[in-house]
């Protein structure tokens, strides 16, 4: 039979050696202090313990109540950040939403609610992948056709490239006077490290079924045949972008549109002058335009937004894109091509790459 002895001088024998309890308490205190320093920052820290519903369905939040008896609704749907058909990956943070999936989920909820009479899509995005941009554009077009509810696009800081592509699915495009928009074009990022590998004495052995199977690989220099293949793809994607803009901006002639669609960005007043946007105005102007398009401009409405549980929305300016994760005040936001070495076709305005 095992007997436990107590050393009254050193404290109880826990974990197999004297004083372990004191060591454990000291370690816990140190960890707690470290967490306090990290979390406190420059201001006081408080901890909120709130029960979280197991259901992850979208909740409706009222942002504006124009009158106590307001019944009809205008739904505000946010689209921000880089458009990708995959869940957001952030350093040292939980995996986020898939922007395409979330966008469709919000559109479906607005379509199913008979009290929703119009939708305002608030866009603050430099664009993203070609397919994600096209999927969201297609879903917005289908929403308009199926529901017959008018859609107004409201561009904020940036509504460029894929962000502008999406806006072309709306009935009208409003842009804030300081919005940067345009950037009609396609770009492919294909990093190459073959020269660096040679200097380091590193080689890559590739076995392939065809000459072009590893075209765009970062481990070898791109040749003319590779460039010809990729340029052909880029040209076709660019033609699709121009066709989308031409359908939305019927007042712009084809030759004039070709001159405008050289990849450059425009400030909102320039964009309006060229016919790329319909009106200059704030978000409130876009909401008023949505009411007018729905034939309810003389009625009091509720402006609502959809969010996951705990997604509190105090007013129309409450939702802003999440900032990059910081550790010791250093941003850990990396260029997209560092996350994946594969070539990517993008409707994206990203001059810093």
93 or 169, which is more confident:
169
- Domain 59-319+342-348 fold is 2-enoyl-CoA Hydratase; Chain A, domain 1 (3.90.226)
pLDDT in tens, 67-85: 999 999 999 999 999 998 8
Average pLDDT, the chain: 81
**pLDDT over threshold 50, residue 233:** yes
pLDDT of residue 203: 84
**pLDDT over threshold 50, residue 249:** yes
* Residue among 133, 147, 154, 161 flagged as catalytic: 161
Q: Which range is most confident: 13-17, 18-22, 46-50, 121-125?
A: 121-125
161 or 315, which is more confident:
161
Burial 269-301 (b: 16+ CB within 10 A, else e): ebbbebbbbbebbebeebbbbbbebbebeeeeb
pLDDT of residue 237: 96
For residues 153 and 123, the answer to whether their CB atoms sit within 8 Å is: yes
pLDDT of residue 14: 43
**pLDDT over threshold 70, residue 99:** yes
R_g over Cα of the chain:
27
Can 161 be counted among the known catalytic residues?
yes
**pLDDT over threshold 50, residue 58:** yes
Other beta carbons within 10 angstroms of residue 228's beta carbon come to 11
Closest listed residue to residue 176, CA positions, set 95, 115, 267: 267
Residues comprising the chain, all counted: 353
**What gap in Å lies between CA 276 and CA 94, rounded to an integer?**
38
For residues 160 and 265, the answer to whether their CB atoms sit within 8 Å is: yes
Among the residue ranges 2-16, 50-64, 298-312, 319-333, the one predicted with the least confidence is 319-333
pLDDT of residue 191: 80
Q: What percent of the chain has pLDDT over 70?
A: 71
| Burial bucket for residue 76 (CB in 10 Å: 0-12, 13-18, 19+) | buried
**pLDDT over threshold 90, residue 298:** yes
For residues 123 and 166, the answer to whether their CB atoms sit within 8 Å is: yes
> H/E element holding 187?
strand 187-189
pLDDT of residue 334: 45
pLDDT of residue 12: 46
* Partners of 188 in beta bridges: 345
Closest listed residue to residue 344, CA positions, set 239, 267, 253, 233: 233
Pairing of strands 172-175, 279-280: parallel
Residues whose CB falls within 8 Å of the CB of residue 140, separated by 6 or more in sequence, listed in order: 107, 121, 151, 166, 169, 170
* pTM as predicted: 0.76
Pairing of strands 326-327, 330-331: antiparallel
pLDDT of residue 57: 84
pLDDT of residue 208: 84
* Band (15; pLDDT cuts 50, 70, 90): very low
**What gap in Å lies between CA 131 and CA 330, rounded to an integer?**
32
Q: What are phi and psi of 216, to 5 degrees?
A: 85, 5
**pLDDT over threshold 90, residue 274:** yes
Q: Which residue is associated with the tokens 């504006």?
A: 64
**pLDDT over threshold 80, residue 122:** yes
Query: Residue 177's Cα: distance from chain center in Å?
Result: 22
* Band (39; pLDDT cuts 50, 70, 90): low
């Amino acid at each position: 039979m095992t007997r436990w002895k107590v050393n009254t001088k050193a404290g109880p024998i826990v974990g197999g050696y004297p004083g372990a309890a004191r060591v454990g308490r000291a370690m816990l205190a140190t960890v707690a202090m470290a967490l306090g320093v990290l979390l406190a920052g420059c201001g006081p820290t408080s901890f909120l313990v709130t029960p979280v519903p197991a259901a992850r369905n979208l909740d409706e939040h009222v942002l504006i109540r124009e009158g106590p008896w307001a019944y009809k609704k205008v739904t505000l749907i946010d689209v921000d950040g880089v458009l990708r058909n995959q869940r957001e990956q952030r350093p040292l943070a939980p995996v986020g939403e898939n922007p395409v999936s979330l966008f469709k989920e919000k559109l479906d909820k607005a379509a199913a609610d008979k009290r929703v009479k119009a939708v305002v899509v608030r866009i603050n995005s430099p664009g993203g992948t070609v397919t994600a941009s096209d999927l969201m554009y297609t879903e917005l077009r289908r929403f308009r056709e199926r529901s017959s509810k008018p859609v107004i696009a409201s561009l904020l800081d940036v509504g460029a490239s894929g962000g502008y592509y999406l806006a072309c699915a709306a009935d009208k495009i409003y842009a804030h006077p300081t919005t940067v928009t345009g950037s009609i074009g396609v770009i492919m990022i294909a990093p190459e490290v073959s020269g660096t590998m040679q200097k380091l004495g590193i080689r890559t052995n590739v076995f392939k079924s065809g000459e072009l199977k590893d075209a765009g690989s970062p481990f070898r220099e791109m040749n003319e045949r590779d460039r010809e293949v990729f340029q052909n793809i880029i040209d076709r994607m660019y033609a699709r972008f121009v066709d989308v803009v031409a359908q939305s901006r019927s007042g712009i002639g084809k030759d004039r549109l070709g001159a405008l669609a050289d990849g450059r960005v425009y400030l909102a007043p320039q964009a309006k002058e060229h016919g790329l946007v319909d009106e200059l105005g704030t978000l409130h102007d876009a909401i008023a335009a949505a009411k007018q398009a729905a034939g309810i401009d003389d009625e009091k409405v509720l402006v609502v937004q959809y969010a996951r549980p705990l997604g509190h929305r105090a007013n129309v300016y409450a939702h802003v894109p999440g900032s990059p994760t910081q550790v010791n005040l250093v941003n850990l936001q990396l260029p997209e091509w560092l996350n994946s070495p594969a070539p990517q076709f993008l409707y994206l305005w990203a001059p810093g790459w």
